[in-house]
């Protein structure tokens, strides 16, 4: 069984209309038209062409070359603009074959590669057990750990011999490390911001009063933020 994802095109209108008109609607959004006509399919495909890679990502699910489903991620707005919501539908005749689990596995990396988002989540009803299993199987644990040079300039002000952080990924029982992304950027901080940052670190309680007082008088600093973003997935079995 060959499971693949591919972009939608206007040539897929008939296949989309056929798929969505016969979709099991028990757990689908009420915004889905019923009946789902060829006109509805064309309207949706035009919307996809406008939003693709900007505010959303949309893919048809192919099994041995035939359209059997849709999977998408739609970006959110306002304070949730770094979030995207996952949605999918699969022809009922294809249920129970592991198709959607594989489709989600293929799709998630595309979302973070093509869209400017930090979080991908899905909304599922408690009684929708098959969909819950798909999401649980494809769930990821994101962990941020300090990089070797995190807050280095601050350490130089506080210690005679500043030390680097380990900058390594921790071993988490039951999880496999899937991806590591280093993130490093400078922060230009005012004296007040430096002091506030210092108070949020463990160094605040380990620094002698004299150096603490000296830092409180700082007019401003450029301090390096250095992190490792780690993506873990749950071990099977």
Return all residues near 23 (Cβ < 8 A) that are at least 6 apart: 32, 36, 89, 91, 92
89, 94, 95, 98 alpha-carbon torsion, rounded to 10°: -100
Q: Please report the pLDDT score of residue 128 as a whole number.
A: 84
Q: Please report the pLDDT score of residue 237 as a whole number.
A: 60
CB 138, CB 73: distance < 8 Å = no
What secondary structure does DSSP assign to 39-71, as a single string?
HHHHHHHHHHHHHBTTTEEEEEEEETTEEEEEE
Residue ranges of domains in the chain: 3-138, 143-234
Q: Residue 29 forms beta bridges with which residues?
A: none
The candidate with the shortest Cα–Cα distance to 230, out of 136, 116, 147, is 147
* pLDDT tens digits along 171-204: 888 888 988 989 999 999 999 999 999 999 988 8
Q: Please report the pLDDT score of residue 154 as a whole number.
A: 92
Among the CATH numbers 3.40.630.30, 3.40.390.10, 3.40.91.10, 2.60.40.10, which is that of 3-138? 3.40.630.30
Residue 76 DSSP symbol: -
* pLDDT tens digits along 80-116: 888 899 999 999 888 888 899 899 989 988 998 898 8
In the predicted model, residues of the chain with pLDDT beneath 50 are none
């Amino acid at each position: 069984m060959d499971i693949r994802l591919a972009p939608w095109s206007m040539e897929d209108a008939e296949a989309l209309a056929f798929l969505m008109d016969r979709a099991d609607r028990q757990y689908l959004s009420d915004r889905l038209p019923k009946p789902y006509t060829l006109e509805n399919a064309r309207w949706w495909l035009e919307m996809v062409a406008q939003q693709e890679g900007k505010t959303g990502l949309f893919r048809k699910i192919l099994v041995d070359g035939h359209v059997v489903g849709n999977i998408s991620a739609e970006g959110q707005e306002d304070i949730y603009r770094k979030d995207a919501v996952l949605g999918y539908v699969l022809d009922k005749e294809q249920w129970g074959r592991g198709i959607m689990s594989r489709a989600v596995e293929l799709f998630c990396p595309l979302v973070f590669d093509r869209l400017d988002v930090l979080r991908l989540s899905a909304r599922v009803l408690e009684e929708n057990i098959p969909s819950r299993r798909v999401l649980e199987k494809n769930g990821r644990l994101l962990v941020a750990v300090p990089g070797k040079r995190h807050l280095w300039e601050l350490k130089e002000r506080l210690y005679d011999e500043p030390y680097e952080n380990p900058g390594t990924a921790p071993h988490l029982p039951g999880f496999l490390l899937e991806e590591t992304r280093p993130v490093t950027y400078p922060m230009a901080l005012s004296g007040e911001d430096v002091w506030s940052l210092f108070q949020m670190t463990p160094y605040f309680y380990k620094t002698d009063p004299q150096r603490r007082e000296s830092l409180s008088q700082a007019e401003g600093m450029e301090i390096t933020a250095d992190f490792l973003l780690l993506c873990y997935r749950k071990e099977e079995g």
